């Protein structure tokens, strides 16, 4: 059985990192700013949020602090500036599920998302042959 979508994940301010998640069985809701994300969260159900600690319109984790105040149980993954222990401590103290530095590898990021969302034993579809309608290459997460 192929599971197409296991979770809806909102990403905020991590444009360059979204491509890494395309092989996971998740639906991405991509936001550039905290204000966009706040408005979207009112109308869209998401299972998890991945965000930079500092956003262009909401510095010092303001978006994530608001999110955790409203939805304290939502799994969150936070990117902080490498070497900034103040950001890391603050991100952990609000109850983030995982904290990564902005220098984390793509592989570590993908594995962290898989772990947080419980996708460890899910098979990711690399590509599908439309002619033969079968999976060409898969990878266990």
Name residues whose C-beta falls within 8 Å of residue 82's C-beta, 6 or more positions apart in sequence.
101, 102, 103
Yes or no: say if 117 and 11 are a contact pair by the CB < 8 Å rule: no
Whether the pLDDT of residue 2 is over 60: the answer is: no
Residue 106 has a pLDDT of 94
Q: What is the pLDDT of residues 89-106, one digit of tens each?
A: 999 999 999 999 999 999
Which residues, 6+ apart, have CB-to-CB distance to 123 below 8 Å? 2, 138, 139, 140, 141
The burial class, CB within 10 Å (0-12 / 13-18 / 19+), for 8 is middle
DSSP letters of 2-20? ----SEEEEEES-GGGGGG
Domain boundaries, the chain: 7-140
Give the list of residues 6+ apart from residue 139 with CB closer than 8 angstroms, or none. Answer: 23, 123, 124, 126
Q: For the segment 65-85, what is each residue's pLDDT rounded down to a tens digit?
A: 999 998 999 999 999 999 999
Indicate whether this model's pTM tops 0.75. Answer: yes
pLDDT exceeds 70 at position 128: no
Parallel/antiparallel/unpaired status of strands 26-31 and 7-12: parallel
Calpha distance 89→127 (Å, rounded): 39
Which of 22-26, 79-83, 113-117 has the least mean pLDDT?
22-26
Structure confidence at residue 1 as a pLDDT band (50, 70, 90): very low
Q: Which CATH superfamily is domain 7-140 in?
A: Response regulator (3.40.50.2300)
pLDDT score recorded for residue 136: 47
């Amino acid at each position: 059985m192929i599971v197409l979508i296991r979770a809806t994940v909102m990403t905020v301010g991590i444009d360059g990192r979204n491509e890494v998640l395309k092989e996971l069985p998740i639906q991405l809701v991509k936001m550039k700013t905290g204000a966009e994300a706040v408005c979207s969260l009112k109308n869209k159900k998401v299972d998890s949020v991945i965000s930079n600690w500092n956003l262009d319109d909401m510095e010092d984790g303001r978006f994530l602090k608001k999110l955790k105040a409203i939805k304290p149980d939502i799994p969150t993954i936070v990117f902080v500036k490498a070497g900034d222990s103040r950001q890391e401590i603050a991100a952990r103290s609000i109850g983030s599920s995982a904290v990564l530095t902005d220098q984390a590898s793509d592989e570590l990021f993908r594995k962290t998302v898989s772990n947080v969302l419980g996708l460890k034993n899910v098979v990711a579809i690399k590509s599908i042959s439309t002619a033969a309608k079968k999976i060409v290459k898969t990878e266990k997460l």
